[in-house]
Amino acid sequence: MTIDTARLREDFPILSREVNGRALVYLDNAATTQKPRAVIDALTHYYETQNANIHRGIHTLAVEATEAYEGVRAKAARHIGARNAEDIVFTRNTTESINLVARAWGDAKLREGDEIVLTLMEHHSNIVPWQLLAARTGAQLRYADIDAAGQLDLDELRSLIGERTKLVSVTHMSNVLGTINPIAEIAEMAREAGALLLVDGAQSAPHLPVDVEALGCDVFAFSAHKMLGPTGVGVLWARAGLLAEMEPFLGGGEMISIVKPEGSTWAEGPHKFEAGTPNIADVIAFGAALDYLDALGMADVREHEKRITAYAIEALEGSGGITVHGPHDVEVRGGAVSFEVDGVHPHDISTIVDAYGVAIRAGHHCAQLLMRHLSVPATNRASFYLYNEEREVDALIEALDEAKRVFGRVESRTAV
Ligand code: PLP
């Protein structure tokens, strides 16, 4: 069913504000998304009616808060097609989920000479934890290249994965190019080599129907704040049995079974990785975000984004002096659209369009390896979500026309 954006936008209080005297046009959804009233209300409701620490208490508030928190574990599992809620760990964000695996799995499993295969389109949070792990263990990093269309070079990736490969870690969807990677195919390559496959789902879980079992990956990581939820909540899913094989990440309360002077034993399942008091309120509010997405249906979210992304790519390329990076076919890409305006630095573009109330991002997008590959210091990025409308793309194009006019003038004045 088509998403009724006019109605749905009423659920997002922030979308009715003005910026610099203009209606806000929020196109920075790959960085973080806006929150519907249901999520904001869930936070308030928790603090007003249920606030208590979880797991430890037997009083009514503690039981209610525990049930609400654990209920979201089940919802998060359902959102990505995972069979068991017990395979879901709550973290702070995607970054922490990946670091958890690097520490809890990587430190124990990797040795000198082992190899970790990444790609040039990874976010820093799927590069730096592996660089740190490589420095600790003596393992080597290998990076698969990207072709001219902004897609992974699968032949090269296949050639990099071999008997030394212990881990393959790739993004499901690029936060810069929008490219959607063929995870099921990559999972087969990893499986044949006996390597673990981690998928960075920070940009896919919010925008695509995801089924981790069908994808065939071993680990899947994502962040609540990029999918209508609050900041401070990340999710790590691991294939059944994998969490049990991993060492603890952080030590403290909640993650133990028995503590003795000479040492301790660990709690079972995800609790082993949730030391200390977790982010209870935000996890519970994330549940409201998952309900919201579920009610819309991820297939419809995806269809909406395909339409607006196709519209945006055509409008940007058609407006003159603009190049869009990454694949143009919306069947193989999502709604993070990076572009360059001839001769104008992305930061200048971003500043000017902000004066028109349009929020886009300029910079390296935490993907410096990709910037180097594209031979650019930075790009502009407009990124869409379920509440964006074509008229907002029009507002972006109008603001960009103004930026081009301003810089055209500046250049000619300098020339004189
Ligand atoms: N991976 C990708 C592809 C991302 O786009 C991002 C955030 O922009 C991250 C990882 C890191 O997410 P977080 O900052 O929530 O840990």
**126 C-alpha to center of ligand 1: Å?**
8
Q: Mean pLDDT in the chain? A: 96
31 CA closest ligand 1 atom index: 8
Note whether 62 and 53 are within 8 A (CB).
yes
Catalytic residue list: 366
Q: List, for residues 30-56, the tens digit of each pLDDT value.
A: 999 999 999 999 999 999 999 999 997
With residue 74 as reference, give the H or E element that holds it. helix 60-79
Topology (CATH level 3) of domain 39-294: Aspartate Aminotransferase; domain 2 (3.40.640)
Q: List, for residues 273-300, the tens digit of each pLDDT value.
A: 999 999 999 999 999 999 999 999 999 9
pLDDT band at 408 (very low <50, low <70, confident <90, very high): confident
Q: Cα angle at 10 between 22 and 384, to 5 degrees?
A: 65
| Confidence check: pLDDT of 256 > 90 | yes
Q: Is 203 in the pocket of ligand 1 (CB under 6 A)?
A: yes
**202 C-alpha to center of ligand 1: Å?**
5
Q: List, for residues 196-218, the tens digit of each pLDDT value.
A: 999 999 999 999 999 999 999 99
d(CA 272, CA 252): 10
Between strands 165-171 and 336-341, the pairing is unpaired
| Confidence check: pLDDT of 413 > 50 | no
Query: What is the model's pLDDT at position 410?
Result: 47
Q: Which CATH superfamily is domain 5-30+297-411 in?
A: Aspartate Aminotransferase, domain 1 (3.90.1150.10)
3-state SS, residue 407? helix
| Per-residue exposure over 200-215, b if at least 16 CB sit within 10 Å of its own CB, e if not | bbbbbbbbbbbebeeb
223 CA closest ligand 1 atom index: 15
Q: Is 95 in the pocket of ligand 1 (CB under 6 A)?
A: yes
**365 C-alpha to center of ligand 1: Å?**
9
Q: Is 223 in the pocket of ligand 1 (CB under 6 A)?
A: yes
The pLDDT > 90 percentage for the chain reads 96
Query: Candidates 173, 228, 366: which one to mutate for ligand 1, based on the most atoms within 8 Å of Cβ?
Result: 366
Q: Is 175 in the pocket of ligand 1 (CB under 6 A)?
A: yes
Q: List, for residues 86-99, the tens digit of each pLDDT value.
A: 999 999 999 999 99
pLDDT band at 180 (very low <50, low <70, confident <90, very high): very high
Note whether 309 and 390 are within 8 A (CB).
no
Between strands 18-19 and 322-324, the pairing is unpaired
Closest CA to 189 of 153, 155, 161: 161
| Confidence check: pLDDT of 175 > 70 | yes
175 CA closest ligand 1 atom index: 5
pTM: 0.96
Q: Is 123 in the pocket of ligand 1 (CB under 6 A)?
A: yes
Residues 383-399, mean pLDDT to the nearest whole number: 98
| Per-residue exposure over 22-46, b if at least 16 CB sit within 10 Å of its own CB, e if not | eebbbbbbbbbbbbbebbbebbebb
Query: What is the model's pLDDT at position 246?
Result: 96
Query: What is the model's pLDDT at position 407?
Result: 87
**292 C-alpha to center of ligand 1: Å?**
21
Q: Is 171 in the pocket of ligand 1 (CB under 6 A)?
A: yes
| Confidence check: pLDDT of 77 > 60 | yes
| Confidence check: pLDDT of 172 > 80 | yes
Query: Candidates 94, 200, 219, 220: which one to mutate for ligand 1, based on the most atoms within 8 Å of Cβ?
Result: 94
- Delimit the domains of the chain by residue range: 5-30+297-411, 39-294
Written as one letter, the residue type at 32 is: T
d(CA 367, CA 376): 11
Scanning the structure block, which residue is given the tokens 């793309």? 393
SS3 content of the chain, % helix, strand, coil (to 5): 45, 20, 35
| Confidence check: pLDDT of 243 > 90 | yes
Residues 325-342, mean pLDDT to the nearest whole number: 97
Query: What is the model's pLDDT at position 56?
Result: 79
Phi/psi at 163 (5° precision): -70, -20
Q: Is 179 in the pocket of ligand 1 (CB under 6 A)?
A: no
